[in-house]
């Protein structure tokens, strides 16, 4: 055996496969209960009207995810650490408060998703949610969610069936295509709130933290980033394609029939063209696995980020006495998320929607932090943003803030 230097670099599909992972995982986790419900409601209530927003949002989503990943690859640090090192304690406190709010709201939505899915199987939420809370907590504490992750991800892929369902529902593709390119706004509070929610669920703030920390944990270097960015980009686009098909399916099946999505049952019935009487089961399985996965990942993301920002000890191998704040944070988010769902008489779909609106309202502020960091040459060197990135990101920030102000104004003045 003769020692030889490694001259051959891997090329082609295998090289791409080697780096694929974090982005795709983060983006598919984005199609969680909040996402499914928001897209279903959008399609059922407004038909194809909102499709143009999805098209407009896709570049922003791709760019935001790419920026987060690039920051991770260049600096080797998480988003929270960068915020702290660039801005100091006070702005960090604000940012972490926003992250925690976004995370907690979404976790509540995940438990709402679990409750809704189990109710489709005929299990009361007062039984399913406490059990789910314990299971999720154990998955996190034992660190075993990494093992189950693949399984849950595979199961949540049943949402790909929306693509098939959309074709089986035979929409008028001409109308669909027009809706993608012709912007249309209905000046009501409900529409604007839904538009904010649509943004919040598509470009969810916690996803940037997640994708960046995944890149950091994988030890992706700047050199590898040239390839790894495609993982992030492909993941983002794939997630949005599925989102569009959910809207198309619900718009074709539910909207003409005048069915409003007020419960998981109506949302599930959109899959009837594909799965017939098994539509509910199919929908419930997808919803359940996506929700459980996200309910485990979200609190942990928040816990890691906050501890990273404030220098508190973190890690699943640390005991309660070693890392009280780390363990306390995710436990608090999980338990309080589950507890909210146990309040009697809650409309689960409404909860999921509201959480996404919260996400949408917080998004621009966290994006501002990101924009300042990603354009700082001291931090990013020559990997600062290009002009297109800056223009698109600032547009997103301005548009979402405008929508939020519009919504607040309309609510206060009682318009719409």
Q: Among residues 10 and 127, whose Cβ is nearest to other proteins?
A: 10
Alpha-carbon span 137 to 156, nearest angstrom: 20
- DSSP string of 317-357, one letter each residue: TS-TTTSHHHHHHHHHHHHHHHHHHTSTT--HHHHHHHHHH
In whole angstroms, the minimum distance from the beta carbon of 273 to other proteins comes to 14
Do 83 and 373 contact (CB within 8 A), yes or no? Answer: yes
Q: Among residues 75 and 103, whose Cβ is nearest to other proteins?
A: 75
In whole angstroms, the minimum distance from the beta carbon of 14 to other proteins comes to 5
Alpha-carbon separation of residue 189 from 270, 298, 358, 409, 414 (angstroms): 25, 29, 15, 10, 9
In whole angstroms, the minimum distance from the beta carbon of 152 to other proteins comes to 9
In whole angstroms, the minimum distance from the beta carbon of 335 to other proteins comes to 21
Q: Among residues 216 and 397, whose Cβ is nearest to other proteins?
A: 216
In whole angstroms, the minimum distance from the beta carbon of 154 to other proteins comes to 5
Q: Among residues 76 and 416, whose Cβ is nearest to other proteins?
A: 76
Token pair listed for 191: 């529409």
In whole angstroms, the minimum distance from the beta carbon of 309 to other proteins comes to 8
- Closest listed residue to residue 57, CA positions, set 241, 251, 217, 303: 241
In whole angstroms, the minimum distance from the beta carbon of 312 to other proteins comes to 8
The answer for residues whose C-beta is within 8 angstroms of residue 236's C-beta and 6 or more apart is 23, 27, 58, 61, 62, 65, 66
Alpha-carbon span 411 to 416, nearest angstrom: 8
- DSSP string of 16-37, one letter each residue: HHHH-SHHHHHHHHHSSHHHHH
Q: Among residues 219 and 344, whose Cβ is nearest to other proteins?
A: 219
Alpha-carbon span 18 to 99, nearest angstrom: 31
Alpha-carbon span 310 to 268, nearest angstrom: 43
The answer for residues whose C-beta is within 8 angstroms of residue 65's C-beta and 6 or more apart is 23, 26, 27, 207, 208, 211, 232, 233, 235, 236
Q: Among residues 113 and 286, whose Cβ is nearest to other proteins?
A: 286
- CA 273-277-282 angle, 5° bins: 80
Token pair listed for 390: 């800056």
Q: Among residues 180 and 312, whose Cβ is nearest to other proteins?
A: 312
In whole angstroms, the minimum distance from the beta carbon of 321 to other proteins comes to 14
Q: Among residues 44 and 82, whose Cβ is nearest to other proteins?
A: 82
In whole angstroms, the minimum distance from the beta carbon of 107 to other proteins comes to 22
CA atoms within 13 A on the CB side of 384: 12
In whole angstroms, the minimum distance from the beta carbon of 85 to other proteins comes to 5
Q: Among residues 14 and 413, whose Cβ is nearest to other proteins?
A: 14
Q: Among residues 142 and 409, whose Cβ is nearest to other proteins?
A: 142
Q: Which parts of this chain interact with other proteins (CB under 8 A)? A: 1, 3-4, 6, 8, 10, 14, 17-18, 75-78, 81, 84-85, 88-90, 93, 142, 144, 147-148, 150-151, 154-155, 158, 161, 216-219, 221, 275, 278, 281-282, 285, 309-311, 313, 315, 317
């Amino acid at each position: 055996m003769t020692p030889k230097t490694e001259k051959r670099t891997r090329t082609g599909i295998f090289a791409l496969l080697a780096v694929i992972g974090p982005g795709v995982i983060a983006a598919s986790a984005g199609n969680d209960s909040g996402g499914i419900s928001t897209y279903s409601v959008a399609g059922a209530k407004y038909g194809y009207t909102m499709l143009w927003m999805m098209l407009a949002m896709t570049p922003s989503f791709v760019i935001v995810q790419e920026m987060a990943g690039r920051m991770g690859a260049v600096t080797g640090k998480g988003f929270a650490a960068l915020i702290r090192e660039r801005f100091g304690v006070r702005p960090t406190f604000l940012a972490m408060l926003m992250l925690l709010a976004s995370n907690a709201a979404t976790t509540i939505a995940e438990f709402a998703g679990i409750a809704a899915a189990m109710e489709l199987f005929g299990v009361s939420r007062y039984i399913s949610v406490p059990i789910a809370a314990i299971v999720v907590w154990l998955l996190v504490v034992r660190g075993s969610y990494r093992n189950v992750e693949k399984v849950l991800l595979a199961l949540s892929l049943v949402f790909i069936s929306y693509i098939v369902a959309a074709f089986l529902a035979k929409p008028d593709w001409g109308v669909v295509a027009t809706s993608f390119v012709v912007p249309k706004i209905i000046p009501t509070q409900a529409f604007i709130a839904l538009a904010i929610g649509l943004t919040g669920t598509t470009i969810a703030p916690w996803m940037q933290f997640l994708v960046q920390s995944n890149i950091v944990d994988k030890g992706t270097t700047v050199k590898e980033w040239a390839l790894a960015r495609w993982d992030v980009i492909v993941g983002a686009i794939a997630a949005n394609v599925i989102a569009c098909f959910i809207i198309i399916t619900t718009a074709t099946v539910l909207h003409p029939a005048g069915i409003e999505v007020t419960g998981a049952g109506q949302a599930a019935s959109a899959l009837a063209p594909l799965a017939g009487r098994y539509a509910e089961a199919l929908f419930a399985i997808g919803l359940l696995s996506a929700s459980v996965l996200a309910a485990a990942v979200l609190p942990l993301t928040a816990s890691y980020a906050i501890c990273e920002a404030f220098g508190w000890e973190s890690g699943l191998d640390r005991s309660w006495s070693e890392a009280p704040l780390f363990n306390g944070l995710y436990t608090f988010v999980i338990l309080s998320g589950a507890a909210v769902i146990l309040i009697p008489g809650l409309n689960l779909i409404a909860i999921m929607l509201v959480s996404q609106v919260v996400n949408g309202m917080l998004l621009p502020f966290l994006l501002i932090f990101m924009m300042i960091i990603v354009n700082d040459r001291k931090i990013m060197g020559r990997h600062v943003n290009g002009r297109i990135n800056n223009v698109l990101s600032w547009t997103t920030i301005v548009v979402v803030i405008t929508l939020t102000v519009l919504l607040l104004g309309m609510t206060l003045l009682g318009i719409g």
